[in-house]
Amino acid sequence: MIKRNLLVMGLAVLLSACGFQLRGTGTNELSLKELDVSARNAYGETVTQLRQTLENSGVHVYNGATYKLILTDERETQRNISYASAGRASDVELNTALMFEIQGRDQLPLMGDKIQVQKVVSHDGNNLVGSDSETIQVRKEMRRELIQRMMTRLQMLTPEKLAELQQVADNKAKADADALKAAQEYEDNTPKQSPVEVPVE
C-alpha cells in the first residue's frame, strides 16, 4: 500500500514537472497585476464574471489602470444543423463570439482579437421547456469557457510583450501625427488660386 502511494505521488510530481495539469486545477496567475476592464454592456454577465475571475487571480481591476481591456462586442447566434421528422430541428449549434481590444497609454490600441466558443445541443420538439432549459445551461457553460480562454490570452501578455506593443503603437501614432502635420503645412504653403472672373457682356 505504501509503495503504491509512493508511486502515485511520484507520478504526480513527474507530471507536474512536465507542465501537465488536470483540467480545472490550473491557476490563472497573470503577469499583469492591474487592469481596467470595460464593455459595451457595462453590467453584462460576461464582463462581471471576467472582473471577478481577474480579481480572484490577484489582478487589481480599477478605472484608470495603465492597460485597459475593452469587450467591444459579444454576439450569440445559433443555427440548425440537423432535422428530425416534420422538419423540426434536432441538433442546434450554439455560437458565442467575443471581440476585444487592449489599450495602453494615451488610449492607444495595442491589440485586438476575437474569441469564439461553439457547442451543439439536441432540441426536442416535444419538450420545448426542457430544450430551452438545456440551451440556457449550455450558454452559461460557454460563457465560463469564453472567460477561461480570455484569461489564457491575458496570461500570454508579459510586461515585455506589453512594452513592445506599446512601442509599436507609440511609433505609429507619431508617424500618423507627423504625416498629418506635413499635409497641413503643405496645404498652408500652397498658393491659393484666385477665382477666374468672367467678364460681363
State which amino acid sits at residue 173.
A
C-alpha cell at 41: 454592456
pTM: 0.73
Give the C-alpha separation, 158 to 41, whole Å: 28
Q: What is the pLDDT of residue 22?
A: 38
Give the C-alpha separation, 78 to 128, whole Å: 16
The pLDDT profile of the chain, 201 residues, written as one tens digit per residue, is: 455 454 444 544 444 444 333 344 345 678 899 999 999 998 999 999 999 999 999 999 999 999 999 999 999 999 988 877 665 668 889 999 999 999 999 999 999 999 999 999 887 665 566 678 888 999 999 999 999 999 999 999 998 999 999 999 999 999 999 999 998 888 888 877 766 666 666
Q: What is the pLDDT of residue 122?
A: 83
Q: What is the pLDDT of residue 129?
A: 60
Evaluate the CA torsion angle 155, 147, 28, 61 in order and state its sign. Answer: positive
Q: What is the pLDDT of residue 29?
A: 78
Greatest distance between any 2 Cα atoms in the chain: 118
Q: What is the pLDDT of residue 81?
A: 84
C-alpha cell at 110: 495595442
Residue ranges of domains in the chain, CATH in brackets: 25-176 (3.30.160.150)
